[in-house]
A and B are shown apart, each in its own frame.
Chain A
Amino acid sequence: MKKLFRNILNQFLGHTTDGYFRVPDTAQDLPNPKNDTPWAGTLKLSMDKFNKLTRKDGHGSPGFYAIIGIVLAAITLVEFLIFYVESLGVLLIPIMLVLSLMKFVIVVAFFMHLRFDNRVFTIVFFAGFVLAVVIAIILLLVFAIKPVFS
């Protein structure tokens, strides 16, 4: 079971060398390989670029952090401006939630270094966070679904 999962994941991440749709990086065409996905390798490619940008050894440069800070400020500005757009109505809520989720993930992943640290930190932190969110949602549902007494 574990092996099956691993195989699928590897294909998605492009860890197979015989990808069907992979753009050949040699002049001559490679023979048609079997069993691959259209996006094979692209995730790995972008992750590589990203890791190089953020210095895989886990220490970002001050410039990198400054850029992240600017990104955060920009998202805050967007939130502030969107707040005043009346026509959004109820749509405001999911948009705000998504934007702040982006800020949340950026701070947690980069400023708190969770992206590059041992997986155990992610597990212990998100156990608490996800539980808090789920309980909040259940609590709101309990109060929202008003009982109807006949």
Chain B
Amino acid sequence: MTTISYPTLIPRPKEYVSGIWSWLTTVDHKKIGTMYGIIAFFWFLVGGIEALLIRIQLAGPESEFLTPEVYNQIFTMHGTTMIFLVVMPLSAAFFNWMVPLMIGARDVAFPRLNAFSLWAFLFGGILLNISWLTGEAPNAGWFAYAPNTEVPFNPKNGVTFWILGLQVLGIASLAAGFNFLTTIINMRAPGMSFMKLPVFIWMTAVVNVLIVLAFPVITVALIQLQFDRLYGTHFFNPVMGGDPVMWQHMFWLFGHPEVYILILPAMGIVSEVLPTFSKKPIFGYEFIVFSGIGIGFLGWFVWSHHMFTVGLGPAANAAFSISTMAIAVPTGVKIFNWIGTLWGGSIRVTPALLFSVAFIGMFVIGGLSGVTHAAPPSDAQQQDTYYVVAHFHYVLFGGALLGLWSGIYYWWPKFTGRFLNEKIGYLHFAIVLIGFNLTFFPMHWLGLDGMPRRIATYPESMGWDVSNLVASLGSFILGFGVLIFLYNVFYSSKGPKNAGNDPWDGRTLEWSIPSPPPHYNFETIPEVKYRDDFWYKKYPELANESHGGGSDMENSDNHAEGHNEPHMPDPSYYPLFISLGMTIMIGGFIPFTGHWIVCGLGLVMFTWAFLGWCYEPVND
């Protein structure tokens, strides 16, 4: 008997709303996942253009295509965009779509919070990129080392935009982290114990634990930097006793778990794609799961390997070097398990499989260059050179992005009911792979030859021109490959909706429901008896072999036979407005004339939406 009735102008939307309003007020994880994917892909194109601008500038020596000031802004925004606005949201798109489907739930634990994460992501990305319009985009690199970011060296508002944009994005990620952890722990189908979860869900769980624990650290670091810049504190000001190295510690304490946040979802996707297209269960399930947990855990103790050249001393360097080398072990275990999955399987070649296999290859190359970084002596030569750029692009593009593309090709039939065209898919794969390697492989020797990072141009006499030109040509080939993918999306959108429930003969629960899934996902929540339970429902004789007994479910068809549709949570417009209000409030901290008024207006909208959310009535 809640007695308070919150005054509302617009009543809560009902389940049957349609059109744009249904998308803006949706709390359905599938729609939210789709929106995450579309928005992330938009930012991918933006970040890609920024990358192409970099490559045009670096194609030849002493180029004047971009001034150094603009160049700094471009590479800063390229890095920030790709990490926070592309790879993380693409992973979030997959979490949103697949987590409830794979654990047999109807939605996530807190649907409105899920919508809030999406809108906060959208508005945070906009806040970050508004800086282009003011002519003062952030220019200190995606890691914003102090004291370069302090006021004497960076008086304009660019870094402030970066700080505040990342705060909003951080809040979005944190909310999503809480949501998915609660969902995975608490909303699994009956019988689905932790060791029966698909590997993708395990990786999602580890990633969300990392998000929930790492983002508070960057929040604090950003607060400290903001206070230094705007309110005169001395956290990173050596003149008054502060220590710029402390920023590096705080940033990389977040930053290293962050890179595992970026790669583990793609590893999870690969662990789903490979078994399906080899018609074998994943090799060494427990090893892959515990390796994932191990990577997540050990990733907390390696952060100073980004600081080997800062002067921490031999003891610290040695300790972090050992831990960094240790973390290569679980990663290697996973690689061998994936190879073991493919080995002896009945391989079905599809673009999804090709991307996953390419993931393994490219990630190993990136991992090898990473291992050379783990030793401080060799890192002393490699730090701040293009060798590092090669390393992280191999693991992030060749790893995370190829893995995500694999997931897109794999689950596209489930999302839309249509297939992505295979031939165009192979073309996309080939061109992307060739372009990617042409772009980033030369960077290995460029780095070893001494070409520094983050330089706007280089002299002719260094002999770097040919490799740089090759890299730039490769980047355009890569860009063309991305366009082919876009063409594939549009071409396939006209195709027939003939995917059916289970086009790939899959193993996990999402293939047991129609494509695209109905609003409520599962007609009846499935009872899970085995790992890869759906596979053993389809082939009970295999269950007899490996488990000594078939599944108990009689009929897994999930038709609506005179059932009432399960009641799903109603849509709500408060998540949209609360994230808008919050972004305006946080953006109002940027020092421009009248900014406190803007902040106050944001606070009003935020408070109104917050209370409205708490007291929102349930439609019946």
- Are A and B in contact, CB atoms below 8 Å, in the complex? yes
Partner of B209, one of A120, A127, A147: A127
Q: Are A135 and B253 touching (Cβ within 8 A)?
A: yes
In angstroms, Cα B181 to Cα A124, docked, is 10
Query: Nearest chain B CB to A56's CB is how many angstroms away?
Result: 25
User: A147 — which chain B residues lie within 8 A by C-beta?
Assistant: 311-316
The SS class assigned to the B binding surface is helix
In angstroms, Cα B212 to Cα A127, docked, is 11
Residues 199-213 of B, flagged 1 when their CB comes within 8 A of A and 0 if not, give 000000000010011
Q: Are A131 and B311 touching (Cβ within 8 A)?
A: no
In angstroms, Cα B209 to Cα A147, docked, is 34
In angstroms, Cα B323 to Cα A134, docked, is 15
Q: Does B301 contact A (CB under 8 A)?
A: yes
Interface residues of B in 133-148 (CB under 8 A from A): none
User: A139 — which chain B residues lie within 8 A by C-beta?
Assistant: 249, 253
Query: Nearest chain B CB to A135's CB is how many angstroms away?
Result: 6
Interface residues of A in 91-150 (CB under 8 A from B): 120, 124, 127-128, 131, 134-135, 138-139, 141-142, 145-148
- In the complex formed, the residue of B with least CB distance to A123 is B185
Q: Are B253 and A142 touching (Cβ within 8 A)?
A: no
Query: Nearest chain A CB to B404's CB is how many angstroms away?
Result: 27
Q: By CB atoms of chain A within 10 A, which of B181, B301, B304, B313 has the most?
A: B313
Q: Are A135 and B311 touching (Cβ within 8 A)?
A: no
Q: Does B300 contact A (CB under 8 A)?
A: yes
User: B304 — which chain A residues lie within 8 A by C-beta?
Assistant: 142
In angstroms, Cα B213 to Cα A145, docked, is 26
Partner of B301, one of A120, A138, A146: A138
- Count how many chain B residues have C-beta atoms less than 8 Å from C-beta atoms of the other chain: 16
Query: Nearest chain B CB to A75's CB is how many angstroms away?
Result: 28
Query: Nearest chain A CB to B26's CB is how many angstroms away?
Result: 29
User: B316 — which chain A residues lie within 8 A by C-beta?
Assistant: 141-142, 145, 147
User: B315 — which chain A residues lie within 8 A by C-beta?
Assistant: 145, 147
User: A141 — which chain B residues lie within 8 A by C-beta?
Assistant: 316
Known A120-B185, A139-B249, A142-B304; contact A131-B313, beta-carbon cutoff 8 A: no
- In the complex formed, the residue of A with least CB distance to B311 is A147
Query: Nearest chain B CB to A133's CB is how many angstroms away?
Result: 12
In angstroms, Cα B312 to Cα A127, docked, is 28
Q: Are B213 and A127 touching (Cβ within 8 A)?
A: yes
Q: Are B312 and A142 touching (Cβ within 8 A)?
A: yes
Known A142-B249, A145-B316, A147-B313; contact A128-B185, beta-carbon cutoff 8 A: no
Interface residues of B in 89-115 (CB under 8 A from A): none
Q: Are B313 and A145 touching (Cβ within 8 A)?
A: yes
Query: Nearest chain A CB to B185's CB is how many angstroms away?
Result: 6
User: B213 — which chain A residues lie within 8 A by C-beta?
Assistant: 127-128, 131
Q: Are A135 and B300 touching (Cβ within 8 A)?
A: yes
Query: Nearest chain B CB to A39's CB is how many angstroms away?
Result: 34
Query: Nearest chain A CB to B246's CB is how many angstroms away?
Result: 9
In angstroms, Cα B213 to Cα A134, docked, is 13
- In the complex formed, the residue of A with least CB distance to B307 is A142
User: B311 — which chain A residues lie within 8 A by C-beta?
Assistant: 147
User: B313 — which chain A residues lie within 8 A by C-beta?
Assistant: 145-148
In angstroms, Cα B253 to Cα A138, docked, is 11
Q: Which 7 A-B pairs have the closest CB atoms?
A: A147-B313, A142-B316, A145-B315, A128-B213, A131-B213, A142-B312, A145-B313
11 A-B pairs whose Cβ atoms sit less than 8 Å apart in the complex? A120-B185, A124-B181, A124-B185, A127-B209, A128-B212, A139-B253, A142-B304, A142-B312, A142-B316, A145-B315, A147-B312
Apart from A139-B253, A146-B313, list 9 A-B contacts with CB within 8 A. Answer: A135-B253, A141-B316, A142-B249, A142-B312, A147-B311, A147-B312, A147-B313, A147-B315, A148-B313
